[in-house]
Structure formats: structure tokens, C-alpha cells
Amino acid sequence: MTGEGVRPARFRMNEDPESQGAAEFIRDRLYFATLRSKPKSTTNTHYFCTDDEFVYENFYADFGPLNLSLLYRYSCKLNKKLKSFTLTRKRIVHYTSFDQRKRSNAAVLIGGYAVIYLKKTPEEAYRSLISGSNASYLPFRDASFGTCSFSLTLLDCLQGIRKALQHGFFDFETFDVDEYEHYERVENGDLNWIVPGKFLAFSGPHPKTKVESGYPLHAPEAYFPYFRKHNVSTVVRLNKKIYDSKRFSDAGFNHYDLFFVDGSTPSDAITRRFLHICEGTDGALAVHCKAGLGRTGTLIGCYLMKHYRFTAGEAIAWIRICRPGSVIGPQQNFLEEKQAAMWLLGDSERSQKAKLEERAVSNLITSMDDLNLNSAHNGNMCRSPSSDHLQEVELTDGGLSLTQGDKLRALKSRRPPRPATTGALRLDEMKIHSRSTSHPLRLSMGAGQGLSSPLKSSRFPASSASAAAKRIGRSPSSSASNIRSSALTSRLAASLSDLYAADMEEERKTPYSPPPPPPPLCVSALPPPPWSRLLSVAMVTPLTLAARSTRSTTTVVRMALRRPLQ
């Protein structure tokens, strides 16, 4: 095996020894061979030839490469053979003759197919074509007589196809071959797309639609419907003035004149001007000279080299595949000489563009970081619509294009966490405090101590019992018991102290359980604030305590009266 997966096929073709060494593209399936005679297909091998089917229409001494529509038709033909049920078990051999012109065109067809459909690199396809006993291929030349000053190689053509495919200049899944073949005809406009949606090359219009010496001529108005349909906004004329440019401009098209002599090369000023027009134009450009071949192809080639990094050979090959006969004579050498300059210019502009984009992103991130909620400016921005407008204008003047959503998200992401002691009401603070019905309300009765929270348990100090006894002793019930004897008073106080001590001991033994959670907060009726509950407790507690003390005192008095005095 030679190269990367490429090897010459060593099988017998119709018992002809010269057929050995065919180039293999798909192992045991697809081959390309150069034969002196027409072979007959066998049960194992199918032969076909396209030399007389796909023919190049030359201008002068030029003979190829074949145009895009023929490459498409060949690809469809070969795909059909590879998918044919009757050819499933057969090797398919595309053969060509020893006619060097036909052989080179046939090699472009199968090599282009390998690049487009078999996903081979141009170099892999080329190595396959020159493998085995296959000789080298005759390079293509320009559409002129005389000595050829520039050789367009088979590899140039394959590389041009590959690069055009990479940049989306064509897609055979959507390619309209009938439209291509219709409009390339002189009687139908003589126009071809080089870069779809960007460059349309066509023959120069004339003042009047007519047929002159058998050659159809078209006035500017004949192109208006097609141009409008395909978003052509600008017309660039490279030849001398034949028609009035106002006929295009009055119809809404931009029109530019960049004249240089037919067959010559453009000056640097014209080249720069052309590139500037192309780079600043929205929509497609229709470019023409007299025939739409030499000068037109040359300037479009400069654009391909600058913006897509085509080599001069790749640019010439692709332009000729799209529009045969383009770029003639010294124009070929001009593109070759300008290749390095166009590459350098394109690389520089792409680098500057990348830096500007990077700088714009950096400025955007920096502006995001500069947003601070703690600043007075941002605080005013949140409160004042006019300040928000000023901030948006400032960001816009800084080269940024922030939407309202971008700014809101940036501001929200910069919000600091709220402290726990902000004084804001929490949900549990908005609920009513309640206690269980099984637990009495406990209040601290220590001297000098105010009311404590109803949620906290209280304990009485040792002196609290005697203090309470003294307060109760001043109640009306204690005064009545003093009528009988002073001893009764002391016994009553001692019994009351024992009662409170027992009550406190029982209270210590009873564990505290928190009150059950209140019912869910109802939005329609918000609860009163926490201090209202304390107020109600403060109002109710004295009455409740008085009633409770009265009942306890009465019980103790009755028990004391039943006991005999000692």
C-alpha cells in the first residue's frame, strides 16, 4: 500500500496487461484507470467512461478544468452506480483514454468526487491518482493563445474544491444544476456565482438589448429581476463606460467604476478600493468587465486570497470551475505575486478584529465588576428612573450594548447577603404566640422584676413565698381571720407558705413543653403585632392573679378553722 491508504490495484482487466496499476479509491469497489482501448464489462467488473459525455467548451487553447455542473452530474452518476443493486458485487472502474486533456479532466472529476464524498484530502486523492503505473497529468492553462506563463495543476484544482467546500461555497445536496446551466448561457445573462451570496461574475451590460454579430447583448434592465431576487445590492464595473450607470443607481443599486485596461492587472489603489467596497457592502456584488472573465476574476481572486486564504492556484482553479476562462495571461502571475501580501493583510485584519472582540468582552466583564450596590450612585440608580437612563447611556457610550435584563442580572449578582440583625420581620415573628391549655401562665413575681416573656418558664426565689403571704395577708379574707386570734394569723401564714412551696415543687418537677405551632398565617387577615399579646397579658394578669389568690386564701382559711387551736 502506498501513501495513506492508497495502493495500486493488481487485478486483471479484460486480460489487458496495460490495465494493471489502476488507482484504488474504495478497496475492491472503485478504481480509476487509463486504458488504450475500450474494455468490456465482466461478471466481476463494470467499466464506464465520461470522456465524450462531459466535455469542456474551450475559448482558445484552454481545455479545462470541467465546470461545477459537470462535476455535479458526474458525482450523481457515480453515486447511482455505487448504489445500484445490479452492481453491488462488482468492481466499478472509471477509465479514461491516453488523451492528456481528457485524462486531466477525468482525474479532476474522480478526484473531486473523492474529496467531496469520500472525505479524502486533496493530497490523498492526488496520491491515489498518480499511484501505480499512472503517469503525471497535463496541467491546465488559461483561455488564450501563445506560451502559457502559468500552469494550473490537478492538485490546485482538488485543493480549490476542498477549500470552497470548507467555506460553504457549494453544497451538492442543494445545488441547482439546471439554474446554473441556464444562466451561464450567453442568451440568458452569462453569469455565474463565485461565492454564493457575495460575488456574482457576469458579462458587461450594453446600452440596449440586442443581438450583435450573433452575440446576444443585454441592457442593465434585463438584470434587475435576477439581482433583486438574489439580494444583489452593488454593481462594480471594471471596463470602460458603455452604459449609463444611472440606470442601475436609479433602480436602487449601488454602482462603482474601477476601470483598468482589458487584459492588464489592477493597480494597488484599484485593488484596495475594490476590497474596501466589498468589505463595506451589505448584500451581494455583481462584478463585470467586458466579458466578465479576466479583470473580474482577478479582483475576486484577490478577495479570496485575503479573506479565505486561498493560494493563487486555488483561487484561479475555483474561479475557473465556477466560470471557465477566468483569469487570463499576466493576471495569473499577478495573483501569484500578490498572494503573500493578501495573506498578510487578511491575517492582520483578522488579528485586529480578534483583539477588538477580546477587548470588547474584557470591557464588558470590567463594567460588570464595577457595578456596586453599596455605592450611592447605584442606590440612586435603583430609586431614580433618570439615573438609570444615565447609566444606560454611559454604558452605551463605552462601547457596550447591555440590555435591561443584562443589567438587572448583573446588579442582582452583586447584592451582598443581608445581615441577620436588619430588623426585618420574619415569618415566625408575625405569628400569634400561644400556649398550651395544659400549662398555666407563669409569671415572675420577684421584687423589682417586671413581666417576663410568656414563652419562658419562671421560678420563684425562696423569699417569694413569704412576700406573697404578706400580700395575701393584706387581703380582706386575712383581715377577717384576725378577729378570732393573732395565732390564727401566724398559722394561716405558715400554711399559705407551705401551700406555695408545694406548688413550686410540683412546678419544678413538671417539664416544660413548648406550645403547639399556631395555624398557618392567613394572608387575608394578618395577626396583630407581638407587642399586642404582651399588652393583653399585662391587662389580664392582675385580675386573674387576684381571683386565684382569693380562692386559695378562702380554702386555707376554711382548713385552718377546722383545726383546733393549740
Contact by Cβ (8 Å): 65, 55: no
Q: In b/e form, how buried is each residue of 200-216, taking b as 16+ CB within 10 angstroms?
A: bbbbbbbeeeeeeeeeb
Catalytic residue among 278, 289, 302, 322: 289
Q: How far apart are CA 507 and CA 509, in angstroms?
A: 5
3-class SS string, 408-447: HHHHHHCCCCCCCCCCCCCCHHHCCCCCCCCCCCCCCCCC
Task: Identify the DSSP state of 325.
Answer: T
Distances (CA, A) of 499 to 189, 441, 458, 509, 555: 121, 18, 18, 16, 11
> Does the bond joining 65 to the residue before it have cis omega, within 30 degrees of 0?
yes
Pairing verdict, β 22-26 and 8-9: antiparallel
Q: Give the number of other Cβ atoms within 10 Å of residue 291's Cβ.
A: 21
Query: Helices (H), strands (E): how many in the chain?
Result: 18, 12
Q: How far apart are CA 339 and CA 345, in angstroms?
A: 10
Q: Give the number of other Cβ atoms within 10 Å of residue 560's Cβ.
A: 18
Contact by Cβ (8 Å): 2, 131: yes
Q: Which residue is associated with the grid cell 492528456?
A: 100
289 annotated active-site:
yes
**In terms of DSSP H, where are the helices of 62-120?**
68-83, 100-116
Contact by Cβ (8 Å): 417, 373: no
Contact by Cβ (8 Å): 173, 76: no
Contact by Cβ (8 Å): 287, 236: yes
Q: How far apart are CA 340 and CA 318, in angstroms?
A: 19
Q: Which residues are catalytic?
A: 289
